[in-house]
Amino acid sequence: MLTDTQCRTAKPKDKPYKLSDGKGLYLEIKPNGVKAWRYRFELREGDSTKESVFAIGDYVAVPSGESSEEAQARRGGQRFSLAEARDERIKARALVKQGINPAHNRQRERIKRELENATTFEAVANEWLALKDWEEVTKTRRLDMLTRVVFPKIGSLPVKSITPAHILDVLNTAAKKNGLTVAAEAKRTMSGVFELAVSTLRVESDPVYPVRKALPANKTQHKRPLDSGEIGQLLRDVEGHGGRHETITAFRLMWLTLCRPSEATEARWDEFDLDAAVWRIPAERMKKRKAHAMPLPTQAVEMLRALHGLTGRHTHLFPHRDDRTKPMVAASFRQMLNSLGWGGKYSPHATRTTGSTRLNELGFASDWIERQLAHAEPNMVRRTYNHAEHLTDRAKMMQEWADMLDTWKRNDTKVVPIKERRIKA
């Protein structure tokens, strides 16, 4: 058997020569001074036995005081001491006993590592998003969160190398910079991505799970419905905002129809029949994936006829400021509201809650209100109710709603229930 002194002091000659260590392991000394570890083995292939040589790596004398990290990095560069070469021979011999060529196994392992390194968290996250049956606006918002909060931390890391410590760092940073709501969304999203990675055998477990309770629970605070006085003040503030005309008009359309913010901002001209005063939103733009018809009060029709002269040549009623082929984003509402001081008191999504509350107070049928809000009817029998009648009834209701908004905007906040108004009439 060789000694480390023999390996270290071996001098090159005109021709390559070998120093045997036994059991197939030898050190080859080349004329250029390189010393390489080789393992000679025999592998049975069919009815014959074939002799082969496995290149373990180059020899290196181990410096005194070398740390385990330094040794690991050295071995990663395929440089081994005598003792380490013997360990590699033992591993190679075990493979040969199983009928596996060590050289072929090393190649497979290298390809596997390259594939794992190529499978980054960002790649799996994009795959996860593509599988979701969500509206494009929802996917865009989620991708925006990932791009701002998660990808800068772990996006480029191989998904298999991400640990709970990485996840905790993401969550703590998000909580400090973006708040608990964003941190909670990041936690749910990362866990969903790892669920896909686990199910496709790219990781063994979800690293989010061990740190899932590291942050305080995020308690969603839903904005209360506005009263008539607040509605009037909000509408007056928005009208006097002096900001972008399309933003103000889209905001008014949302209030006049009680549609969702994204349904207003992404509205297309081919969805509207202004002569019939109907807005028909296709299924792909609806949250429940079901087409929805909205009656338009006269105020909305007049507003949109005026808008058509400005944006009618575009696909969308409210084109994006920078790219006119795309719609404006619903975040424009929040920016406007923040500048007006309404950011902490009212959310655009609270428009529908406010409308539902006030319309119920005014005595309108709950069926009409729920249908206007595009809420699914859980009762199958009730769901068969004639929708044409609903549309007619809803048209009357929404006209009264629009008239009431005008009244509140004029600062006349007295509310007369519908039953009393009909009795007086």
The whole-angstrom separation of Cα 376 and Cα 370 is 8
What is the predicted pLDDT for the residue at 284? Answer: 83
Does residue 80 contact residue 94 with C-beta atoms inside 8 Å?
Answer: no
Distance of CA 145 to the CA centre of its chain: 7
Work out the percent of the chain whose per-residue pLDDT is above 70: 88
Does residue 423 contact residue 274 with C-beta atoms inside 8 Å?
Answer: no
- Cα angle, residue 251 at apex, residues 245 and 256 outer, rounded to 5°: 120
Radius of gyration of the chain (CA): 35
What is the predicted pLDDT for the residue at 412? Answer: 59
What is the predicted pLDDT for the residue at 387? Answer: 47
Average pLDDT over residues 185-208: 92
What tens digit of pLDDT does each residue of 90-139 get?
A: 999 999 999 999 989 888 888 777 666 668 999 999 999 999 888 777 88
What is the predicted pLDDT for the residue at 334? Answer: 86
What is the predicted pLDDT for the residue at 246? Answer: 93
| Band of pLDDT at residue 283, cut at 50, 70 and 90 | confident
What tens digit of pLDDT does each residue of 288-305 get?
A: 677 889 999 999 999 999
Residue ranges of the alpha helices (H) in 146-179?
164-177
Work out the percent of the chain whose per-residue pLDDT is above 90: 59
| Band of pLDDT at residue 347, cut at 50, 70 and 90 | confident
Least confident of 20-34, 212-226, 244-258, 324-338: 212-226
What is the predicted pLDDT for the residue at 118? Answer: 66
Torsion of CA 251, 256, 257, 261, to 10 degrees: 10
The whole-angstrom separation of Cα 282 and Cα 135 is 12
Does residue 146 contact residue 125 with C-beta atoms inside 8 Å?
Answer: yes
What is the predicted pLDDT for the residue at 133? Answer: 81
What tens digit of pLDDT does each residue of 40-54 get?
A: 999 987 778 889 999
Number of residues in the chain: 425
The whole-angstrom separation of Cα 308 and Cα 317 is 8
What tens digit of pLDDT does each residue of 349-383 get?
A: 889 999 999 999 988 988 899 899 887 655 544 44
Does residue 40 contact residue 24 with C-beta atoms inside 8 Å?
Answer: yes
What is the predicted pLDDT for the residue at 119? Answer: 86
What is the predicted pLDDT for the residue at 382? Answer: 47
Higher pLDDT, 113 or 206: 206
What is the predicted pLDDT for the residue at 285? Answer: 81
Does residue 173 contact residue 213 with C-beta atoms inside 8 Å?
Answer: no
Whole-number mean pLDDT of the chain?
A: 87
In the β-sheet with 292-295, what is the strand arrangement from edge to edge?
Answer: 272-273, 278-281, 292-295
| Band of pLDDT at residue 415, cut at 50, 70 and 90 | very low
Say if pTM beats, i.e. exceeds, 0.75: no
Locate the DSSP E strands across 120-244: none
What is the predicted pLDDT for the residue at 291? Answer: 86
